[in-house]
Amino acid sequence: MTLSENFRMERDSLGTIKVPKYAYYGAQTQRAVENFQISSKRMPRSIIRAQGIVKASAAKTNMDLELLPKSIGSAIMQAAEEVIHGKWDDHFVVDVYQAGAGTSQNMNANEVIANRATELIDPSLGYGRIHPNDHVNKNQSTNDTFHASMQIAAIEKINDKLLPALEDLYQEFDKKSIEFMAIEKTGRTHLHDAVPMRLGQEFAGYANTIRSVTNQLKLSADKLYEIGLGGNAIGTKVNSHPDYPTLVIQEVNRMTKLPFRQPENIFEFMQNTGAPIRVMTTMKELSIHLIKITSDLRLLASGPRTGLAEITLPSVQPGSTIMPGKVNPAILEMTHMVCLQVIGYEAAIANAGTASQLEINVMMPLIAHTMMESIEIMYNAVSTLTTKCISGIQGNEEICKHWMNSSLALVTAMSPIMGYDRASQIGKEADEKNITVKEVLKQKGLLTPEIEKAMEPKGLI
């Protein structure tokens, strides 16, 4: 092909521009491609799918309100359905770091759907006969549709992937807590000896931590169901049919089988990105808890000969290119890294939230991409953690017993009998002589039946 055969000329309000001949997108998308060659990252499939849902719902509503001819509306709906199912993903080409609020991303969707709908009606009509603004974007603005799309995408992925993955993780920790409840061990505070406990109690704490933060995520995510479709540019519903907002959300609900609703105040929705901020705050909390848990498990599994070695992790891959036979806690390390990334993403979204000015937050493309990336990598990490690590953990009962019997914190049991100060001296002497507390008591003739009974781990646990 010659250069002219590879391109077609399209016109927008700024003039004409060359567009790849077989691209379904048009002039405004092409300008965005040329203007924003920043990262080579595109909006995730989940956002594109949500845009298709919004555009199909809008077309159906506009037909029902007799604002679109059925021939055009039906073609737009079919084209939008194809977008939902990923048929035209290669034609969504705008960089994540683009014009504010997602205008370029919205126009990318409008142009792809308009040109595909034209083709569905009559391929001989050529590009542009169904208009991306007048038809596909009817009763809409970027400011309400892109905002809604990112919230639809987020709640779908949270419901379908992240929440079930967290439930699986909770269940696995809960199983391990039951399995390990008979194993007695020493507790540790400040990374030093503390009173005895059960390994199952430690894992029960992990299980309930996951359950609590999962419940918090459900509460935070509820705000995502508020979508301001029909608010248009700033919430005044300019150029919008009075029945459109209610009907279009009903259609979104029909398509997604989810309970989306109008915001309590449409202007709040247009001005702020409160729902993503809330979700990401909980994602940060989840990350903090997972870092704590995975760090604990790395400590408990440390060794296997020179560490605590109270648990054994499943081996998933060799751990060293120089030390033969070494196996590292790879899954736990990966999870820690993912959590650090999500904490960083939360900071980006929090700062993007401060960019809301007057009637809109122009940082929505960054918020959308970063939130969806956070949900995706957290889901993958949690699923991997559950199946490749937690489910295969074994408790080392003999090693747990060894450390428990060596613990200086056993003097705690003697404190009510002989007093805090004297018990402290016994513990100090055991430490200095590198012997057990019981051995010091025997040497001093103090190991009475009363003290021996008090020092039984079951009594302390």
For the cut 70, the answer to whether the pLDDT of residue 4 exceeds it is no
User: Worst-scoring range by mean pLDDT, 2-16, 65-79, 107-121?
Assistant: 2-16
Domain 151-181+200-231+268-396 has CATH 1.20.200.10: yes
User: How far is 130 from 112, CA to CA, in rounded Å?
Assistant: 11
Q: Residue 254's pLDDT is what? A: 98
Element (DSSP H or E) covering residue 18:
strand 15-20
Cβ contact 23:91 at 8 Å = yes
pLDDT of residue 269: 93
In this predicted structure, the answer to whether residue 181 has a pLDDT above a threshold of 80 is: yes
In degrees and rounded to multiples of 5, residue 193 shows phi and psi of -55, 135
Residue type, 184: E
- Distance (Å, rounded) from C-alpha 104 to C-alpha 92? 10
Alpha-carbon dihedral angle through residues 35, 38, 39, 40, given to the nearest 10 degrees: 30
Average of pLDDT values for 174-198? 95
* DSSP-derived secondary structure for 326-390: ----HHHHHHHHHHHHHHHHHHHHHHHHTTEETTEETTHHHHHHHHHHHHHHHHHHHHHHHHHTG
Asked if residue 2 has pLDDT above 50, the reply is: no
- pLDDT-based confidence at residue 302 (cuts at 50, 70, 90): very high
The rounded mean pLDDT for the chain is: 93
Q: Is 320 a catalytic residue?
A: yes
pLDDT digits 0-9 by tens, 253-291: 999 999 999 999 999 999 999 999 999 999 999 999 999
Name the pLDDT band for 125 (thresholds 50, 70, 90): low
- Structural tokens at position 409: 């914190």
Neighbours of 26 (CB within 10 A): 24
192 annotated active-site: no
Q: What is the CATH number of domain 407-460?
A: 1.10.40.30
pLDDT value, residue 321: 67
Residue 85 reports pLDDT greater than 70: yes
Read off the pLDDT of residues 336-391 as tens digits, 9 standing for 90 and up.
Answer: 999 999 999 999 999 999 999 999 999 999 999 999 999 999 999 999 999 999 99
Q: Which fold has domain 22-138?
A: Fumarase C; Chain B, domain 1 (1.10.275)
94 pLDDT above the threshold of 90 = yes
Active-site position among 40, 91, 190, 287? 190
User: 274: helix, coil or strand?
Assistant: helix
Q: Where are the beta strands (DSSP E) in 73-232?
A: 184-189, 192-198
How far does Cα 314 stand from its chain's mean position? 25
Tell me what pLDDT residue 127 has. 60
pTM of the model: 0.92
pLDDT above 90 for 322:
no
Q: List every span in the chain annotated with CATH 1.10.275.10.
A: 22-138
The pLDDT confidence band at residue 328, using thresholds 50, 70 and 90, is confident
pLDDT digits (tens, 9 = 90+) for 154-167: 999 999 999 999 99
Which one of the listed residues 4, 39, 71, 320 is annotated catalytic? 320
pLDDT at 1: 35
Pinpoint the residues of the chain covered by CATH 1.10.40.30.
407-460
Task: Collect all residues with Cβ–Cβ distance below 8 Å to 312 and sequence separation of at least 6.
Answer: 301, 304, 393, 394, 395, 396
C-alpha to C-alpha distances, 12 to 103, 108, 114, 214, nearest whole angstrom: 15, 14, 15, 48
Among candidate residues 157, 148, 167, the one with its CA nearest the CA of residue 224: 148
CB 60 within 8 A of CB 77: yes
Q: Nearest Cα to 46, choosing from 381, 382, 380, 371?
A: 371
Q: In the chain, which segments carry CATH 1.20.200.10?
A: 151-181+200-231+268-396
Give the closest residue to 211 by CA, choosing from 177, 257, 259: 177
Question: Residue 277's CB: how many other CB atoms inside 10 A?
Answer: 20
**What percent of the chain clears pLDDT 90, i.e. is strictly above it?**
77
Band the pLDDT of 126: cuts 50, 70, 90: low
- Is residue 416 very low, low, confident or very high in pLDDT (cuts 50, 70, 90)? confident
pLDDT at 128: 61
The average pLDDT across 95-105 equals 94
